[in-house]
């Protein structure tokens, strides 16, 4: 079928896009390559369509489907969308993506080069032809540019041959393979689609799992998005894939998305409601009982699918407070030791099998942790980690909220600090960074977990960069037990900067003892009940500046038709499963999954994190503007230029 005919059939709704297809994801390099191949009359592959009844066909966009029979594009969406945009000068009705990828394509008739409009390079140069204008007006519109002009006379014949080669691209025949027959169910067609697209722009496992669901329930993604937006307003970021994993475990008792294959729309809707309820309950429980009340301290989110299953199986009624606390004991240890940092699906499936029999489920989960760790008691050396991305950072925050730590200025318990816009505790370096760097300490020493504590915003401002030998004495005189409540060693000699390493050793020992006492208390059911707190998932939180910046850039990426990144992505050693580094925002599969390199944003992160990113093959950026330029120039292949004013 000729390309022009395919476009006509798209216009009248005889060719459409199935709902389970992802949006348009090509960049300008890919569009240029397609046009160059067509211009040279190189083969660009055939199209694959599913011919099915129009009635009941789930299609993308708001276009009208032709009555009777419709051809749904299984393979060829990116090519045909690009050609439609170039030839028609607008996207097709099923379009969902970044139209800049195919807008303003130009052709240099002298160099036979395709490029996107750049005013500094093309302005007032007649050799650059707007390809869309050529497609719509024909060759005659461009004859006056060259005819009768001496400078073009030797080449004018070649120019028109070249323009004709572009104009006649619309007449190229594309072979169309058809999937037909009453036996071709949505399940089978989705399987065909996945196989055909395995070498192209890959879908995530979550996308593949949603393919069948979206074909039968087009609003599935939007409904899931609503739940995620609710949690985001409360300060938590859940990727679609994680919510989908919770739905899968609740409905099937297993972690693998393939198990959703037998789940119909009605069951999936029910599973979504149950999973959302379970996540709400877990966030409220973890916030109230452990004090982990925002995203940066929410460890081991891949424990949520198992805990969601556990709650759902028990109709959200745990037997008693001790059962609740044992579940939380298990949860804390999953993030301390990276239980799901490696082969998530496999390990999660093993653990799900341990809770299928209700009696003794938590004992089996905890025993499995012990089998892998040998001993769940914390040692001082476990606090040797550094940076706010370390696994023990949430533990330190948790201990501050539940361990009766007191504010140095007011003497009030921080566990009583209400949740809300002004309540988030701020991390504080006991020994200020500037003071430590001035005395030659390394960045990992400066940012050691044992040098962190948490204070209210007001007290943090009062402390500022003061020397601990001075300010600890000052606040200790006001509230004698407030300093001790943060597990600060009370030997004044250790408050001097020259004894900083001894201070870290002493504080690690105090932290390990306090953590063990609290965790053992959870396991034994001996931790007192907290004061009643408002539900976390019903609040709106103020976002710290760095988080706000990262959320804004993630939204911008999604607006470009690219996948959302993963906040606080934990990079692990593939052999040991140990945490190597935590990236502020990352795309481990690249901004074009399977086609581009892994990417990370590392804002104000140390050189050790940069080195870890390099070793793992990540391309990383330390500022937002450089990252945006990379997205424009290398992913979207946009040639934005800024005309600078004359000096």
Do residues 70 and 52 make contact, with C-beta atoms less than 8 angstroms apart?
Answer: yes
The answer to whether the beta carbons of residues 73 and 51 sit under 8 Å apart is no
pLDDT at position 646: 35
| Burial group, residue 442, by CB count within 10 angstroms (0-12, 13-18, 19+) | middle
**What was the pLDDT predicted at 204?**
56
3-state secondary structure of 113: strand
Output phi, psi for 429, to 5 deg: -80, 120
**Rounded Cα gap, residues 377 and 141, in angstroms:** 80
CA 622 to chain centroid, in Å, comes to 18
* DSSP helix/strand/coil, 24: coil
Count of all residues that appear for the chain in the document: 647
Phi-psi region of 112 (alpha: psi -120 to 50; beta: other; left: phi over 0): left
For the segment 590-615, what is each residue's pLDDT rounded down to a tens digit?
A: 887 656 789 999 987 777 788 889 98
Low-confidence residues in the chain, pLDDT < 50: 198-203, 417-422, 639-647
User: Of the candidates 474, 349, 487, 301, which has an alpha carbon nearest to the alpha carbon of residue 406?
Assistant: 487
Residue 57, Cβ density class (10 Å: 0-12 exposed, 13-18 middle, ≥19 buried): middle
- Whole-number Å distance between alpha carbons of 214 and 58: 8
* CA–CA distance, 564 with 244 (Å, rounded to integer): 15
User: Contact 414/425 with Cβ under 8 angstroms?
Assistant: yes
| Torsion sign across C-alpha atoms 470, 474, 475, 480 | positive
The domain limits of the chain are 3-179, 202-373, 380-538, 545-635
CA nearest to 596, candidates 613, 573, 619: 619
What pLDDT does 554 receive? 85
In what helix (H) or strand (E) does residue 520 lie, and over which residues does it extend? helix 500-524
Enter the tokens of residue 145.
Answer: 């540019």
CA distance 317 to 432: 47
Q: Locate tokens 């503007």: which residue?
A: 625
DSSP 314-358: TTT--SSHHHHHHHHHHHHHHHHTTTTSSSHHHHHHHHHHHTSSS
CA 174/CA 169 separation, integer angstroms: 11
d(CA 396, CA 518): 12
The DSSP secondary structure of 115-137, one letter per residue, reads EE--HHHHTT-TTEEEHHHHHHH
Quote the radius of gyration of the chain (alpha carbons, Å).
30
What is the distance between the alpha carbons of residues 66 and 71, in angstroms, rounded to a whole number? Answer: 10
pLDDT for the residue 643: 35
**If residue 549 lies in a helix (H) or strand (E), which one and from where to where?**
helix 545-559
pLDDT of residue 594: 55
295: β partners: none
**In 421-526, beta strands by DSSP E:** 426-429, 452-455
Distance CA 427, CA 446 (A): 13
**In contact, 452 and 427? CB cutoff 8 Å:** yes
């Amino acid at each position: 079928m000729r390309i022009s005919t395919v476009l006509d059939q798209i216009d009248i709704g005889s060719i459409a896009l199935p709902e389970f297809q992802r949006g348009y994801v090509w960049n300008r390099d890919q569009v240029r390559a397609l046009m160059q191949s067509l211009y040279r009359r190189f083969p660009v592959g055939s199209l694959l369509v599913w011919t099915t009844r129009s009635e009941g066909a789930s299609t993308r966009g708001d276009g009208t489907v032709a009555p009777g029979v419709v051809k749904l594009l299984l393979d060829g969406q990116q090519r045909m969308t690009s050609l439609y945009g170039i030839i028609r000068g607008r996207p097709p009705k099923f379009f969902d993506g970044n139209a800049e990828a195919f807008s303003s394509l130009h052709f240099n008739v002298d160099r036979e080069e395709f490029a996107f409009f750049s005013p500094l390079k093309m302005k007032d140069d007649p050799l650059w032809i707007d390809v869309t204008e050529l497609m719509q007006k024909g060759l005659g519109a461009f004859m006056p540019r060259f005819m009768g002009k001496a400078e073009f006379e030797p080449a004018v014949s070649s120019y028109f041959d070249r323009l004709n080669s572009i104009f006649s691209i619309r007449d190229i025949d594309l072979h169309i393979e058809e999937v037909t027959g009453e036996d071709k169910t949505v399940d089978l067609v989705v399987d065909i689609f996945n196989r055909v697209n395995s070498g192209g722009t890959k879908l995530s496992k979550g996308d593949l799992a949603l393919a069948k669901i979206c074909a039968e329930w087009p609003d599935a993604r939007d409904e899931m998005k609503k739940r995620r937006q609710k949690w985001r307003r409360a300060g938590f970021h859940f990727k679609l894939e994680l919510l989908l994993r919770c739905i899968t475990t609740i409905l099937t008792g297993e972690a693998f998305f393939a198990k959703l294959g037998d789940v119909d729309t009605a069951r999936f809707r029910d599973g979504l409601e149950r999973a959302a309820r379970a996540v709400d309950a877990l966030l409220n429980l973890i916030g109230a009982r452990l004090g982990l009340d925002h995203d940066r301290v929410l460890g081991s989110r891949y424990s949520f699918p198992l805990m969601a299953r556990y709650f759902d199986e028990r109709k959200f009624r745990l037997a008693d407070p001790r059962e609740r606390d044992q579940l939380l004991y298990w949860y804390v240890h999953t993030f301390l030791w990276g239980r799901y940092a490696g082969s998530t699906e496999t390990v999660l499936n093993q653990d799900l099998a341990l809770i299928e029999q209700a009696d003794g489920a938590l004992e089996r989960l905890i025993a499995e942790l012990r089998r892998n760790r040998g001993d769940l008691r914390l040692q001082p050396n476990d606090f040797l980690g550094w940076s706010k991305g370390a696994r023990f950072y949430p533990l330190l925050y948790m201990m501050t909220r539940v361990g009766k730590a007191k504010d140095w200025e007011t003497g009030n318990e921080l566990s009583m600090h209400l949740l809300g816009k002004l309540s988030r505790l701020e991390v504080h370096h006991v020994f200020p960074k500037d003071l430590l760097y001035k005395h030659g300490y390394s960045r990992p020493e400066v940012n050691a977990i044992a040098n962190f504590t948490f204070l209210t915003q007001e007290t943090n401002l009062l402390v500022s960069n003061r020397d601990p030998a001075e300010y600890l004495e000052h606040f200790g005189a006001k509230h004698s037990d407030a300093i001790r409540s943060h597990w600060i060693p009370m030997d004044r000699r250790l408050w001097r900067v020259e004894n900083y390493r001894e201070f870290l050793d002493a504080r690690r020992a105090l932290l390990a003892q306090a953590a063990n006492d609290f965790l053992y208390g959870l396991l034994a059911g001996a931790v007192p009940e907290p004061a009643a707190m408002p539900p976390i998932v019903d609040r709106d939180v103020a976002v710290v500046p760095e988080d706000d910046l990262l959320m804004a850039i993630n939204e911008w990426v999604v607006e470009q038709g690219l996948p959302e990144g993963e906040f606080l992505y934990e990079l692990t050693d593939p052999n040991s499963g140990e945490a190597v580094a935590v990236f502020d925002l990352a795309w481990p599969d690249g901004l074009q999954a399977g086609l581009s390199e892994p990417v990370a944003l590392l804002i104000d992160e140390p050189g050790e994190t940069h080195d870890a990113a390099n070793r793992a093959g990540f391309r990383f950026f330390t500022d937002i503007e450089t990252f945006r330029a990379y997205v424009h120039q290398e992913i979207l292949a946009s040639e934005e230029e800024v005309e600078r004013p004359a000096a």
